[in-house]
Chains A and B, each alone.
Chain A
Amino acid sequence: MKGGHRVEGADVAPGEVVLERASRSFALVHERSRTLKEVALRGTRGRRARRSSVRALDAVDLRITPGEAVGLIGRNGAGKTSTLRCLAGIVPLDSGRAECGGRPVSLLELGAGFHPDFTGRENVFLNGALHGFDRGQMEARLEAIVDFSELGDFIDAPVKAYSSGMQLRLGFSIVAHLDADVMLIDEVLAVGDESFQRKCLVRISERMEGGATLVLVSHDPTAIERICRRVVVLEGGAVAFDGPVADGLLFYHRLLGTERGASQSLRPAAGGPLERGSIEVVELELRDAQGARRRAFRPGEALRVELSLRCAAPAQRAVAALEVRDQRGERCFRTDTTIGSVSGLLEVAFEVPRLALLGGDYDLAAGVWDQDAPPTALLDRVARFSVTPTVDGEGVADLRGRWSVHGDASSGGPTTQSPAAEHGSLAAASRTARP
């Protein structure tokens, strides 16, 4: 391999990712069209200067420490994939420095590195070989990879017969077992179903505990929010934001201008067996205390659910209902209310002054219907939101209790909690109880 691009220098620790003033442009007129005739007529020199080019990376500075997970988000064409490809060493930089410490492993596309005529098993070896592993090393991993992928007997079928979900299963399983120091993953997890996605994220976080670093490109804020503490928003090839995930997603949504209207229903109104009633929930929004649109909350924050309704026909006895379900689909909470006679356009809101949920992902389902006209009791809109994990308890409900310890400790008298430990963990309680 050519050593020019990635120097495994002493200053980059395994798992560390460094971009320094990294710049890369691409010619807008694709060089594919270059023929010998063109070169003969114009010469190779000056070709780059004459053509207009687009800066995919414009002096990007980024330093990721080992064990960190960074979500890379941004609009289409903001330079996310280019950044990954430069980090993976597939595309060289024009100037600057891009280095991954240790062994970088990339999963940039479904089926990347697969040969369609080979079986899944043979592709495990081919893929391992592409990443520099030998037969023995791959044989040692084969069983774990096949197990993880849950492909069963399909592992001996040619990959061209695989669905995209199966390709992801195999591709991710391989990548996850290559002892990567840096994992570069581009927007592929979205293809997997919920349970496999969760499994991937669990596997990634295990690898991270071992010191591996993750750079994840995704348009799915839920996935980013689940695994990454830090988010980098790219805009026009430059870093527009670099910081905590909640702020980053907010920044990104502001950038997209989707603070309003993003959750508008785009479903065609026409019927089918799930024909809605005459009342339609046009928009379902979750907002925080400041009225900003949010999909990530902290336990105890205020949450406001807003429903925009459109009534095709006036209804006398309209009912609105909300339901919150946890990751397993278990109902955590349900409420409904009669909102009386409605017509035209109107808004209904439900206020939660203090969100009493612990960390995790939740689905909020909502529906409005006319009690006098079937179908009734149809929760036909769902919004997913997440609650930041805290160390204050396990489970679903955040009861936010207080610990206190009474007894004849030498300090005498009952001990009360310090305000800092208001959310009450046992550790905090025993600490304050100690003389």
Chain B
Amino acid sequence: MLRYRFLFEQMVRRELRQKYKGSALGVLWYLVNPIVLMGAYALVFSVLLRVANVPDYPLFLLVGLIVWVFFSQALLAAAPSLVTNAALIRKVRFPREAIPASVATVQLVTFLVMLALVTPVALAVRGTLGPALALLPVIVALLFCLVLGLSLAASVLHAHFRDVEPVLAAALLPWFFVTPIFLPIDDMPGVSEHRLLGDALEWGNPIAPFVEAVRDVLFTGAVPTLGHLGYMAAIGLGALAIGIGLFRRMERELAVVL
């Protein structure tokens, strides 16, 4: 595996190159998406509906959105990646994990760029420079484990069952709305009446603790709860283990099913 490090590097370069080929703004396009979403949601929830009483609401939205955009874009890009590279898989023997892994890594790079832009803004506006910030790399690493595990699983499943990508695309929109991006779960008016629903939103959605933890660190300047930290570690490492296991099992026949 180690001797294929150069392959991985080449694949990442290839992906990056493909993405930004012929685009003037290049990587900046990836900032446009969350910023446009931020503007729209700030308008709807803060100005029009007036449900959000969070200070610096656009920044609150943006921090959650970049986590979500990373998660969803990586899954959507990884799912069809093996099919897209069918020609390569059918003709050359190499570790096929490199394909979805490089796709997820490219999304990670974009995520890190956005994080690098948002973090100083958050620190300045919210004054959150403190020891909690040291947890950010750990949270990002665990988030990447989750994304990588799901990417491996989604890509190999999609290679065998071609409806995985459309199912995923359809699921991501409702998934987005049940993820606490617009409001902290406790601020949601309905949650105080249905406690169970609140718990389901918080613990039944693997991406929710990551959104909240990144927000805790960057926006609130607080250390995430121990429960969230443990949950993230379990979800991240568990997803990675399952993703690798599934990929190993299902990649043998790839050259035949593609």
Known contacts: A113-B92, A125-B10. The answer to whether A34 contacts B5 by CB under 8 A is: no
Say whether A118 contacts B7, CB under 8 Å.
no
Among B24-45, those with CB < 8 Å from A are none
A126 to B87, CA, bound (A): 14
Which residues of A sit under 8 angstroms from B87, Cβ to Cβ? 112
- Give which listed residue, B88, B252, B257, contacts A113 with CB less than 8 A: B88
- A209 to chain B: closest CB distance in Å? 26
Interface residues of B (CB under 8 A from A): 1, 3-7, 9-11, 14, 17-18, 21, 87-95, 160-164, 167, 248, 251-253, 255-258
Known contacts: A32-B257, A34-B160, A34-B161. The answer to whether A131 contacts B10 by CB under 8 A is: no
Say whether B5 contacts A134, CB under 8 Å.
yes
5 tightest Cβ-Cβ pairs between the two chains A and B? A112-B91, A129-B7, A134-B6, A89-B93, A129-B10
Say whether B163 contacts A130, CB under 8 Å.
no
Known contacts: A112-B92, A129-B7, A130-B7. The answer to whether A1 contacts B1 by CB under 8 A is: yes
Among A104-134, those with CB < 8 Å from B are 104, 106, 108-109, 112-113, 115, 117-118, 125-126, 128-134
Say whether B255 contacts A117, CB under 8 Å.
no
A361 to B98, CA, bound (A): 46
What number of A residues sit within 8 Å (CB to CB) of B? 38
- Give which listed residue, A26, A36, A92, A112, contacts B163 with CB less than 8 A: A36
A106 to B89, CA, bound (A): 12
Which residues of A sit under 8 angstroms from B21, Cβ to Cβ? 117
Say whether A133 contacts B6, CB under 8 Å.
yes
Say whether B163 contacts A90, CB under 8 Å.
no
Please name the residue on chain A nearest to B4 by beta carbon.
A132
- A132 to chain B: closest CB distance in Å? 5
Say whether A117 contacts B18, CB under 8 Å.
yes
Please name the residue on chain B nearest to A87 by beta carbon.
B93
Known contacts: A91-B255, A118-B14. The answer to whether A129 contacts B93 by CB under 8 A is: no
- A145 to chain B: closest CB distance in Å? 16
Which residues of B sit under 8 angstroms from A130, Cβ to Cβ? 7, 88, 92, 94
Which residues of A sit under 8 angstroms from B18, Cβ to Cβ? 117
A91 to B252, CA, bound (A): 7
- Give which listed residue, A31, A92, A128, A129, contacts B252 with CB less than 8 A: A92
A35 to B160, CA, bound (A): 8
Say whether A90 contacts B255, CB under 8 Å.
yes
Known contacts: A2-B248, A126-B10, A132-B3. The answer to whether A88 contacts B163 by CB under 8 A is: no
Which residues of A sit under 8 angstroms from B256, Cβ to Cβ? 26, 31, 91
- Could you list some 21 contacts between A and B, CB below 8 A? A1-B95, A2-B248, A31-B257, A32-B258, A37-B163, A89-B93, A90-B91, A91-B255, A92-B252, A106-B93, A112-B88, A113-B88, A115-B14, A126-B10, A126-B14, A129-B7, A129-B11, A130-B88, A132-B7, A134-B3, A134-B6
Q: Encode contact with B along A242-278: 1 for CB under 8 Å, 0 otherwise.
A: 0000000000000000000000000000000000000
Please name the residue on chain B nearest to A1 by beta carbon.
B95
Known contacts: A26-B256, A36-B161, A112-B87. The answer to whether A90 contacts B10 by CB under 8 A is: no
A247 to B64, CA, bound (A): 73
A326 to B14, CA, bound (A): 47
Which residues of A sit under 8 angstroms from B5, Cβ to Cβ? 134
Interface residues of A (CB under 8 A from B): 1-2, 4-5, 26, 31-32, 34-37, 39, 85, 88-92, 104, 106, 108-109, 112-113, 115, 117-118, 125-126, 128-135, 138
Say whether B91 contacts A132, CB under 8 Å.
no
Which residues of A sit under 8 angstroms from B257, Cβ to Cβ? 31-32, 34
Which residues of B sit under 8 angstroms from A134, Cβ to Cβ? 3, 5-6
- Give which listed residue, A32, A109, A131, contacts B91 with CB less than 8 A: A109
Please name the residue on chain B nearest to A85 by beta carbon.
B255
Which residues of A sit under 8 angstroms from B161, Cβ to Cβ? 34-36, 39
A199 to B240, CA, bound (A): 48
Not counting A37-B163, A90-B93, a sample of 9 additional A-B residue pairs whose C-beta atoms are within 8 angstroms of each other reads: A2-B95, A5-B252, A34-B257, A92-B252, A109-B91, A112-B87, A118-B14, A132-B94, A133-B6
Which residues of B sit under 8 angstroms from A132, Cβ to Cβ? 3-4, 7, 94
A118 to B21, CA, bound (A): 11
Which residues of A sit under 8 angstroms from B91, Cβ to Cβ? 90, 106, 108-109, 112-113
Most A C-beta atoms less than 10 A away, residue of B3, B6, B257, B258? B6
Please name the residue on chain B nearest to A138 by beta carbon.
B6
- A106 to chain B: closest CB distance in Å? 7
Which residues of B sit under 8 angstroms from A106, Cβ to Cβ? 91-93
Please name the residue on chain B nearest to A184 by beta carbon.
B93
A112 to B258, CA, bound (A): 15
- Give which listed residue, A4, A88, A125, A128, contacts B93 with CB less than 8 A: A88
Most A C-beta atoms less than 10 A away, residue of B5, B89, B93, B258? B93
- B13 to chain A: closest CB distance in Å? 8
Which residues of A sit under 8 angstroms from B93, Cβ to Cβ? 88-90, 104, 106
Known contacts: A31-B256, A130-B94. The answer to whether A1 contacts B4 by CB under 8 A is: yes
- B246 to chain A: closest CB distance in Å? 13
Which residues of A sit under 8 angstroms from B95, Cβ to Cβ? 1-2
